[in-house]
Chains A and B, each alone.
Chain A
Amino acid sequence: MTFTGAMTILMYALAPFAWLIAGGVAIFLAIHLFAYLRGYQFSQHHSIVAMLLALALGLSALFWIPWFTNSELGYVDTVFDWVAIIGGVIATMVITFFTVHPLSYLLIEKRE
C-alpha cells in the first residue's frame, strides 16, 4: 500500500462525513473566536471542568469507539489495536478539552 493510495482511500472514507467534519471545525473555531473577542486567553483561564470532562470522555472512548465500529473493547488485542484506540482516546481528550475550555470561560463571563 503506497502513501498516495492510503491517502486516496482515506479521502473516500471521509467524503461522506465532509459536511460533519467541516461543521465541527467551524463550530470549534467559532467558539474560540467568540471567546477570544470576549477576552479569553488560554493561559489566563483555568477550567477544572474542561479537564475532568476531557478525561471522562476520553476514557469512555475505550468503550464507545469499539461500539461505534460494531465491536467491543475485548477484541482490542494487538499492539496496533491499542495504538489506534489510545490515539482515539487522546484525540477525544484533546478535542473535548479545547472545546470546553473556552466554553467554560464564556459561561463564567456570562454569569459575571
Chain B
Amino acid sequence: MKHSPFTLSRRQLLKAGAGLSASGLLYTSALQANTIDTQARIVIVGGGASGMAMANRLATRLRGGTITLVEPRDTHHYQPGWTMVASGIWGPDKTMRPNADFVPQGINWIRQYAAGIDAENRRVDLANGESLDYDYLVVSTGLQLNYNLIDGMSPDLVGQHGIGSVYASIEGATRTRQAIKGWIDKGEGKGIFTAAPTAVKCAGAPLKMTFTTLTHLEESGHRDAFDVDFMSPTGGLFSQPWVNDFVKQRFDEQGVNRRHHYRLSAIDPQAKQAEFTFEGEKDSLAVPDDLRAGDDNAQGKPTIIADYDFIHVVPPMSAPDFVKQSDLIAKDGPHQGEWLDVDIHTMQHKRYPEVFGIGDVIGAPINKTAASVKAQAPVVEANLLSAIQGKSLTARHDGYTSCPLITGVGKAMLVEFGYDDNFAFMPSFPFIDPKDESWAAWVMKDRMLQPAYYAVLDGQA
C-alpha cells in the first residue's frame, strides 16, 4: 500500500483522474462532501467489496481518529467474474488484483482474521489473540459457504467426480469449467443444477451457470443426448416475480427439467449420486421416472436419489460463524441466527447503534450483490457520519440490487430491482429494458461492470 513519493500507483492515477473529472463537472455529488473532524476509532471487519469501499469513503471524509481495516488476504477477488470463468469466457487472472491497490493511505490494515466480536465491550478479537477496541464498527465480513450442510460434500471435491461449484473459489470456478467441459466432451449424460435453501450471494449465478452450459451443450451439436435438470428447494427460481416467470418459461423452452422443492441434502461423489430432500407437501411428491425414491430422512421427509454425470452445487450460506456467535446476529425474525441484525434501510444495527452492516452479511430479503454494495456504501457512510456527529440518520437504502442475468453466452438481461412494490424493477438506464435480452446488457457484464466495481472499491462511485 505504500508508494514511493516520486511515483504514482495506477490506482492513485485513477483516483486523481476521477477526482479531476468529477470536479470539472458542474455537479455536486456526495463524493464532494466536506470532511468531519473526529477522534473516533472505527474498525471495519472485512476488506471485500463493501469493506474496501467503506475504508476509502471514510478515509476521505474523516479527519483525525483512526480507521482500522481487518482483512487477512493479499488478493482481492472480483467474484462477479467467477461465473464468466466457470463458463469458459474469462481466464482466472482477470478476476484478481492485489488488495494493496485499493487500501487507502492513512488507515491501519491488520492482516489478520477476525475471530470474535464482543459488542457489549466494543471489541473485535483477532485470530492471533490480539483485540481491537472500537467506537464504531462496520461489519463487512461477507458470508460463509456451508458446504458441510450437504452430507458428503466439501469444497475440495469441486472439479472431481463431475462436481462443480462456481461459489467455492476462483480455483473452484476454474475447476467447474473443466468439469463442465469434461461432461460435454463425453457426448451424453445428465447434468443437475441446484439452488440453495438459504439466501445466497448473486442469486442469479445458479441460473447463469445453467444458461451458459446450455449454450455449450447446443454448440456441441448433441444437445438431445444430454438431460439437464434444475433442482430448486422452493417453488420459485428467482425473487423478482417477472424474472422468475421468465426463467421458468425459458428453462421449459430449452428442455430443462424443473424440479421444485428439491433440496440437495447429500452427495456420493464416488457413485455420482445426489440425494434431494423433498421440502414440499409429502402428498404432492411424484417421483419422476429418471429419479428414484429414497428412504424418508430423520425428520420424516421423503428423499429422492438422482444419478448425475455433472452436478453444480450451490451451498447453503450464512453469516460467518464468529458473527453468528456474537450478539450482533439476528435474534428473531426470518434472519434469526443466520444474518447480521440491521435495519435494512439505515444499515444500522438494531440493538447496537454504533454498529453498521454492509454487504452480504446483512439480513435482508434481497441484495447480496456487488451492485448492492454500490448502493449501500453511501448510505452507511452518511449514517455512520451522522452517528459520529450525534445527528439523526437520514440516509436510506432502497434495497437496490442488480443481476446482469446471463441467458446464454453473448446475451443478458440487466435486471435491477429493490425492496418496494414486490421487488419492482429499478432500471438505471431508461434505454435498457430489464425485460429484454440484449447484447448491450452482455457487454456491460463482459466489459463495464468490473471497472465499475473497482470504482466502488476506491470510493469513487
Contact = CB atoms under 8 A, between A and B. Distances in A.
A75 B442 contact: yes
A8 B22 contact: yes
B27 A3 contact: yes
Nearest to A72: B410
A70 B440 contact: no
Interface stretch (A23-31, A35-43, A78-86, A95-103): A78-86
Interface of A: 1-5, 7-9, 11-13, 15, 66, 69-72, 75-81, 83-85
Interface in B428-461: 428-429, 431-433, 436-440, 442-443, 446-448, 451-452, 454-455, 460-461
Interface stretch (B13-21, B113-121, B181-189, B257-265): B13-21
B282 interface: no
A77 B451 contact: no
Given A78-B433, A80-B431, A13 B438 contact: no
A75 B460 contact: no
Contact of B439 (A3, A12, A85): A85
B298 interface: no
Most buried by B among A3, A4, A78: A4
B411 A75 contact: yes
B461 A77 contact: no
Most buried by A among B10, B29, B439, B442: B439
B291 interface: no
Interface in B251-290: none
A79 B436 CA distance: 10
Given A13-B451, A69-B446, A71-B442, 16 more contacts: A1-B429, A2-B29, A9-B452, A15-B17, A69-B447, A70-B89, A71-B443, A75-B411, A75-B442, A77-B438, A78-B433, A78-B439, A79-B431, A81-B438, A81-B439, A83-B431
6 contacts: A4-B31, A7-B21, A9-B451, A15-B451, A69-B439, A70-B89
B409 interface: yes
Q: Classify the interface of chain A: helix, strand, loop or mixed.
A: helix
Most buried by B among A2, A8, A76, A79: A8
B33 interface: no
A66 to B, nearest CB: 6
Contacts of B451: 9, 12-13, 15
B18 A84 contact: no
Nearest to B427: A1
A78 to B, nearest CB: 5
A11 B438 contact: no
Given A8-B461, A13-B451, A72-B410, A77 B439 contact: yes
B25 interface: yes
Nearest to A66: B439
